[in-house]
């Protein structure tokens, strides 16, 4: 039985049989971000000072082998919670344990393209969603930021404050049908994007 923070694992959808596991991103508390899958590659990350890794999956006998292509220590890239966005060859997210520093990483190489050391406009962790060529960063302090999904450079396009923030603002933003949905504790705010 695998416990919380056990790292990244693959299981058979039919019966839940463990196919492979990778414990270098385990931390003993929680592995929160959903891994990114691109063909035979899996990019996984965890907070609590742990880090990130790119794995390559291949058939091995009757099972699956997960081979580490690279590992980035937590000081270079860790996504605590808030998710990661995969666009083309790049991964965009907030970096750092409860930091949400905007970052762009080249998935296949682990190269930090931009960010990771600079504070975005908000504070605390950042939940991120992508729509219409833009990244929507929602910071723990209730600030929303619009950032270009561009690997060339970090470009902040605007910010606004979510009303009635009374605690950590951690819910993930959702964009559907030209509208941005933001849950804030017991309230739901909807913004027209078109």
| Count of CA atoms in the C-beta half-sphere (13 A) of 140 | 14
- Residue 63 is encoded by which pair of tokens? 């099972």
Specify the pairing of strand 112-115 against strand 101-106: antiparallel
For 27-46, how does the pLDDT look when each residue is reduced to its tens digit (9 = 90+)?
888 888 999 999 999 999 99
Query: Where are the domains positioned within the chain?
Result: 1-74, 79-194
Listed residue (69, 181, 75, 70) closest to 136, CA to CA: 181
Report the C-alpha gap between 106 and 73 in whole angstroms: 15
Flag whether pLDDT at 125 surpasses 80: yes
Q: Right CATH number for 79-194 from 3.40.1180.10, 2.40.128.630, 2.40.30.10, 3.10.310.30?
A: 2.40.128.630
For 94-120, how does the pLDDT look when each residue is reduced to its tens digit (9 = 90+)?
999 999 999 999 999 999 999 999 999
């Amino acid at each position: 039985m695998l416990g919380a923070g056990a790292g990244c694992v693959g299981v058979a959808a039919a019966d839940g049989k463990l196919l492979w596991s990778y414990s270098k991103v385990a931390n003993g508390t929680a592995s929160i971000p959903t891994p990114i899958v691109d063909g035979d590659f899996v990019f996984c990350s965890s907070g609590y000072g742990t880090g990130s890794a790119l794995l390559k999956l291949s058939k091995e006998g009757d099972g699956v082998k997960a081979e580490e292509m690279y590992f980035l220590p937590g000081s270079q890239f860790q996504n605590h919670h808030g998710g990661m966005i995969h666009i083309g060859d790049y991964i965009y997210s907030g970096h750092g344990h409860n930091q949400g520093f905007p970052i762009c990483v080249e998935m296949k190489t682990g190269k930090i393209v931009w960010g990771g050391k600079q504070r975005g406009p908000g504070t605390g962790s950042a939940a991120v969603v992508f729509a219409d060529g833009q990244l929507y960063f929602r910071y723990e302090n209730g600030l929303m930021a619009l950032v270009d999904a561009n690997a060339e450079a970090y470009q902040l396009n605007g910010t606004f404050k979510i009303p009635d923030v009374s605690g950590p603002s951690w819910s993930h933003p959702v964009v559907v049908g030209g509208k941005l949905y933001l849950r804030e504790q017991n309230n739901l705010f909807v913004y027209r994007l078109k």
